[in-house]
Amino acid sequence: MAVHNAKLGRSSVITKSPVVADPPRLIGLSTAQCASLDLRAEDLELLHYYTNAVSLTLSERPEIQRIWQITNPKEAVSHSALMQGLLAVSALHLHHSSDASQNRRKYVALVHFDHTLTSLRQLIGNTTPEHFDILIALSMLVAIFAFALTQPTKAATEVLINHISETSKLKRGVYAFLGYARQWILQGRVFSASASLSEDVNTALKRLELWNDISSDSESTKAVYASAIQNLRANFLAVDSIPDDPGLRHLWLVTVEPEYMRLLESQESMALSILAHYAVILHSEREKWWSKDWGYQLVATVYRLLDARWHHLIGWAMQQVGMVDTLCLEQ
């Protein structure tokens, strides 16, 4: 099926789409409800593209695809932050999918993301437990947008490690939101998985915990690292429990404490080592359009930044992303 976007550029070929209805009809909106959305024609085209294409890339499970394709757009009718987030990711997917009008599509994506952050601040001011599902969806959209916005190169990964994004809005908004939302996420059902960690993952995380325990850092810093490792363990459990749901791979970014991000920005060795282990989770979704080579590039960047005395601590992560084989070939 081909959808022509007059303002967005050339026709885009959309595959694997079982639904061809317009988004309002697809999610059950009346004509009056549609008018109340106050969306421009370009926005409706983006919503159409989201429901028919982008939503299907956000999970491999049909029941979760249905949530992204139908339930979340319905919720977005009354939550502008979610609507703007869906439109932002849709525009960015178009940016990645075609060579035509790339700068235009990226600009449209950034504008919608800016609106997402503005609406998000309003939502945060009135947040209740009933908003949990909205915050979960937004946290995943924010993470996907952050990774998809910048291509995984050596320079880009060092920017990520230093807590910086392409725009100051993205930098302030992403981490401010994650800091506000983390308490709601931690109270949810996402980390209640009963699956057990594989032996190699468990061994790698225990090695991190042991190294943290015997380090010379202050007790408060050790506590921050311990929390980051604990949340990383929970993220591995969630991914192992539901391996075909890409959204779960970004939850560590939502639950990690702001103080850890400050330590990471300062390129502290323990913070970098923990990040290298999270990169293994990102590497597992390298076929996704927003992730690509982020996992490998993050581990490679951590390796370059760490003193050689720390390399043993990220040895498992290096093996998991194939970096050990690469180094052997280079030597």
pLDDT digit string (tens) for 265-291? 889 999 999 999 999 999 998 888 988
Report pTM: 0.74
* Mean pLDDT, residues 245-258 taken together: 78
Helix (H) or strand (E) holding 230: helix 219-241
Contact predicate 178/253, CB 8 Å:
yes
Of the pLDDT bands very low, low, confident and very high (cuts 50, 70, 90), residue 256 is confident
Q: Among 34-38, 156-160, 193-197, where is mean pLDDT lowest?
A: 34-38
Of the pLDDT bands very low, low, confident and very high (cuts 50, 70, 90), residue 14 is very low
In the predicted structure, residue 239 carries a pLDDT above the cut 80: yes
- Max distance between CA atoms of the chain, in angstroms, equals 66
Buried b (16+ CB within 10 A) or exposed e, 165-200: beeeebbebbbebbebbbebbeeeebbebeeeeeee
Q: How far apart are CA 270 and CA 313, in angstroms?
A: 9
* Mean pLDDT, residues 167-184 taken together: 49
Of the pLDDT bands very low, low, confident and very high (cuts 50, 70, 90), residue 39 is low
Helix-then-strand count for the chain, H and E:
18, 2
| Residue 3: strand pairing partners | 12
Q: How far apart are CA 47 and CA 41, in angstroms?
A: 10
